[in-house]
């Protein structure tokens, strides 16, 4: 029987999501998580592949607005819920879903698509490049000390109900979005993701707790949400602090929150897994080795409409280069483009017949797009080729950002 791909109807959601859970191994999510994802699903942007009345394939998209270098919020399709039934794998179902999505994103005028991958090897063939990394730390707080900047002691820390403090925490989050590429402006209900707290998500720890840092005038300037995992043996307690998220508006608030987490009694370590790679905590600790830093790929970026995407961000230095782009999956992006940016960083990207200065594929542009991965490092791996001397350094400097791009949450 031929497979049929259709837009998801609201009353098909449960069957569709059951299929997705099966594709991921069949462990059911908590009802709390499931209900939230049901509310977040954009049905008209969700695709289901049917073999008769059995759902065998799925892919969805969220309508994100992604922060890019320069602070603009750019429409980006957040690709999600991709799964193919174990009975139907390796016969092109994913490829057909990616094809349909890419054509839809283009028709809808979204210059970018982004995703977090279950396995990083899947999406390169569709033109996605790793655009951000995230940092995990597991800090031995019995040995590592923190040095804190002036102003830290002036802040008041208050333990609050995570639900009640949500509006204040969200105000802090909203202020950070335009400062850091890779973050998404909150859409309705997305703030609930950080409050999910079913026992299955606690990793043996306590229910979620929230501490806020306040200035003298009562303004909240940072927060941390975390769990404490008790662990006792014959020598006493070896508890762990498991950080869910920590966001702060200034160095004093950042340091005050980390210090609070470090000093929780009966704990020996602080673990945080979803941090930016330039997290200030790396510079606050006395012994970075004992913070056990580790990085992994996070957000994968795909330029759907190349000139619109490249013009939507700003550049850190004036630029005038011709790039020869290979993009077999989206041939409308293929060919030679002149990218020029003025002293303010504002850019124009137009087709040209002039000789190329750099040669690369759309994947490398996706990797460099948010400013965290340099074109120079990609060239060192042979993935960008310089055809005019000096063009690589010029372009690499212009694309690179001061702040590491970061997506604080999965989706
Ligand atoms: C954004 C997200 O939602 S990430 C979640 C992705 N989903 C999962 O990981 C759930 C478990 N896995 C699955 O459901 C499936 O195996 C999928 C979705 C990863 C792949 O679906 P399929 O329909 O089998 O893929 P399809 O047949 O279209 O394969 C296309 C190509 O990708 C390759 N490929 C497929 N899966 C993988 C993988 N896990 N790792 C590396 N390559 C892969 C195939 O070999 C094929 O290569 P080719 O073009 O050189 O022949």
The answer to whether 78 and 43 are in contact (CB under 8 A) is no
Instruction: Write down the ipTM of this complex.
Output: 0.97
- pLDDT over 90 (residue 396): yes
Query: Which of ligand 1's atoms lies nearest the C-alpha of 81?
Result: 3
Query: Which of ligand 1's atoms lies nearest the C-alpha of 79?
Result: 1
Residue 368: inside a domain, yes or no?
yes
Indicate the residue among 110, 144, 169 that finishes a domain. 110
Confidence grade of residue 249 (pLDDT, cut at 50, 70, 90): very high
Pair 319, 286 in one domain: no
Residue 64: inside a domain, yes or no?
yes
Pair 284, 203 in one domain: yes
Residue 230, domain extent: 135-296
Looking at residue 314, its pLDDT comes to 98
Query: Which of ligand 1's atoms lies nearest the C-alpha of 97?
Result: 28
Q: DSSP per residue over 222-284, as a string?
A: EEEEEEEE--EETTEE-EEEEEEEEEESSHHHHHHHHHHHHT-TTEEEEEEEEEETT-THHHH
The C-alpha atoms of residue 242 and residue 260 are separated, in whole angstroms, by 13
Instruction: Return the CATH number at 311.
Output: 3.30.1050.10
The answer to whether 327 and 361 are in contact (CB under 8 A) is yes
Residue 122 in contact with ligand 1 by CB distance below 6 A: yes
Q: Is 118 annotated as a binding residue?
A: yes
Pair 101, 166 in one domain: no
- pLDDT over 90 (residue 135): yes
Looking at residue 358, its pLDDT comes to 98
Active site residue 62: no
Residue 116: inside a domain, yes or no?
no
Residue 277: inside a domain, yes or no?
yes
Q: Is 284 annotated as a binding residue?
A: no
Active site residue 105: no
Looking at residue 115, its pLDDT comes to 98
Looking at residue 284, its pLDDT comes to 98
Indicate the residue among 250, 278, 296 that finishes a domain. 296
- pLDDT over 80 (residue 98): yes
- pLDDT over 90 (residue 376): yes
Residue 89: inside a domain, yes or no?
yes
The C-alpha atoms of residue 205 and residue 176 are separated, in whole angstroms, by 28
In tens, the pLDDT along 291-342 reads: 999 999 999 999 999 999 999 999 999 999 999 999 999 999 999 999 999 9
Spacing, Cα 94 to ligand 1 middle (Å): 6
- Domains identified in the chain, total number: 3
Q: Find the DSSP H helices in 108-250.
A: 166-177
Looking at the chain, the whole-number percentage of residues with pLDDT higher than 90 is: 98
Spacing, Cα 358 to ligand 1 middle (Å): 31
What is the pLDDT of the chain when averaged over all its residues? 97
Looking at residue 23, its pLDDT comes to 97
The C-alpha atoms of residue 302 and residue 102 are separated, in whole angstroms, by 10
In tens, the pLDDT along 35-56 reads: 999 999 999 999 999 999 999 9
- pLDDT over 90 (residue 262): yes
Element (H, E) at 41: none
- pLDDT over 90 (residue 126): yes
CA geometry: angle 406, 332, 351, nearest 5 deg? 90
Spacing, Cα 87 to ligand 1 middle (Å): 13
Pair 356, 247 in one domain: no
Q: Is 94 annotated as a binding residue?
A: yes
Q: Is 379 helix (H, G, I), strand (E, B) or coil?
A: helix
Instruction: Return the CATH number at 9.
Output: 3.40.630.30
- The CA-atom distances, in angstroms, between 376 and each of 89, 360, 381, 387, 403 are 37, 12, 9, 13, 17
């Amino acid at each position: 029987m031929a497979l049929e791909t259709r837009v998801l109807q609201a009353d098909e959601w449960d069957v569709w999501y059951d299929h997705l859970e099966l594709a991921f191994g069949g462990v059911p999510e908590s009802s709390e998580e499931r209900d939230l994802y049901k509310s977040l699903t954009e049905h008209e942007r969700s695709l289901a592949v049917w073999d008769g009345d059995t759902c065998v394939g799925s892919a969805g998209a969220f309508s994100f607005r992604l922060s890019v270098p320069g602070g603009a919020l750019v429409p980006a399709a957040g690709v999600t819920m991709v799964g193919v039934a174990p009975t139907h794998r390796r016969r092109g179902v994913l490829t057909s879903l990616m094809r349909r999505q890419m054509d839809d994103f283009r028709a809808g005028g979204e210059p970018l698509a982004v995703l977090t991958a279950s396995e990083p090897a899947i999406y390169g063939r569709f033109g996605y490049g790793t655009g951000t990394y995230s940092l995990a730390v597991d800090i031995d707080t019995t040995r590592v000390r923190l040095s804190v900047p002036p102003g830290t002691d002036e802040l008041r820390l208050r333990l609050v109900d995570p639900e009640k403090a949500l509006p204040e925490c969200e105000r802090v989050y909203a202020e950070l979005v335009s400062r850091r590429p890779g973050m998404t402006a909150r859409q309705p209900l997305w703030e609930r993701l950080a409050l999910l707290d079913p026992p299955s998500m606690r990793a043996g720890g306590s229910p979620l707790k929230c501490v806020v840092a306040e200035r003298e005038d009562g303004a909240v300037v940072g927060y941390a949400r975390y769990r404490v995992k008790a662990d006792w043996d014959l020598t006493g307690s070896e508890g762990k602090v498991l950080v869910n998220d920590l966001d702060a508006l200034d160095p004093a608030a950042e340091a005050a929150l980390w210090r609070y987490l470090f000093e929780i009694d009966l704990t020996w370590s602080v673990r945080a897994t979803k941090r930016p790679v330039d997290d200030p905590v790396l510079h606050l600790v006395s012994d970075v080795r004992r913070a056990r830093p580790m990085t992994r790929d996070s957000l994968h970026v795909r330029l759907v409409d190349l000139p619109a995407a490249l013009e939507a961000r700003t550049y850190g230095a004036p630029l005038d280069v011709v790039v020869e782009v290979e993009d077999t999956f989206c041939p409308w992006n293929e060919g030679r483009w002149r990218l020029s940016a003025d002293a303010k960083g504002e850019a124009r990207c137009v087709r040209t017949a002039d000789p190329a200065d750099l040669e690369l594929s759309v994947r490398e542009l996706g990797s460099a797009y948010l400013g965290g991965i340099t074109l120079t490092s990609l060239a060192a791996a042979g993935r960008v080729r310089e055809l005019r001397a000096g063009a690589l350094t010029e372009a690499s400097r212009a694309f690179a950002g001061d702040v590491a791009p970061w997506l604080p949450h999965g989706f």
